[in-house]
Amino acid sequence: MSASPLLETRSLTVSIAGKCVCRNFDLVLDPGSCIGVLGSNGVGKTTLLHSLAGLRPVDTGEIFLGGIVLKELPRRRIAQQLGLLMQQQEDSLPATVLETALIGRHPHIDFWRWESHNDVNLARRALKLVGLDGLEQRAQTQLSGGERRRLAIATILTQDPQVFLLDEPTHQLDPHHQLALLAHFTSLSHSRERAVIMSLHDANLAARFCDQVLMLFGDGELLFGNLEEILTAENLSRLYQTTVIPVDWPGGTAYLPI
């Protein structure tokens, strides 16, 4: 018998404030998948990710995590398998950079136990990967906006779930860190049997790092499928209600709004 998908939805309908985000959405998320979620501001990308994480109820349909209905799982079990990078992080706690990254290990640690040396090493490796090594003892409140975003990414990397739900992971990041960190998540999905779903505003990042694309148009309408089928200038023009043209370059095709 084949293994269950990491995450699955069946006939999923999600809405917020009377507005339908998606209708009858079927998804099978296998190891190695990287899905880019595209759509205009306010269309419901964040709402969908929060619903997939079990943080808000859905209208109809079911979500399965590792073959088990999500709403039947305890939150600690969900957090061991699924990590959500919020669009906006709450970072007012008086904690150091290292202490904040170690929060990612809490779902994996028994109650009343401290982090192990392995947990600390995982956090240090994640901080080094996002370029925050050497700042482990700095208060997180003293970091810049971009550094705080990279710390949030380091925390979810320290959590090491099987499914990463990333809400605008490139927010506040410079181009160097955008490319480096998205490449790392793609590498994780391919080499360590993880899967990634991430909302993006830049279709060119989806073209470079994703193998599937979900477009949310509003009123429940969506397009979902392989990158080559869905990510076209015609679809992008309709999605963003502005003319988008394809531009060939040595790395493939880029999309330019005009």
* Band of pLDDT at residue 1, cut at 50, 70 and 90: very low
Mean pLDDT, range 147-174, rounded to an integer: 96
Instruction: Tell me what the pLDDT averaged over the chain comes to.
Output: 94
| pLDDT of 66 over the 60 cut | yes
Mean pLDDT, range 188-207, rounded to an integer: 94
Q: What percent of the chain has pLDDT over 90?
A: 88
Both tokens of 75, joined, read 């939150």
The pLDDT of residue 2 is 53
Torsion of CA 106, 112, 116, 121, to 10 degrees: 30
The domains found in the chain, sorted by start residue, are 7-87+161-257 (3.40.50.300)
pLDDT tens digits, one per residue of 6-42: 999 999 999 999 999 999 999 999 999 999 999 999 9
The pLDDT of residue 144 is 92
pLDDT tens digits, one per residue of 122-134: 999 999 999 999 9
Q: What percent of the chain has pLDDT over 70?
A: 98
| pLDDT of 92 over the 80 cut | no
| pLDDT of 240 over the 60 cut | yes
Mean pLDDT, range 236-248, rounded to an integer: 95
**SS3 annotation, 64-127:** EECCEEHHHCCHHHHHHHEEEECCCCCCCCCCEHHHHHHHHHHHHCCCCCCCCHHHHHHHHHHH
Number of CB atoms found within 10 A of residue 53's CB = 21
Q: Tokens 């990042």 correspond to what residue?
A: 205
Question: pTM for the full model?
Answer: 0.95
The pLDDT of residue 93 is 72
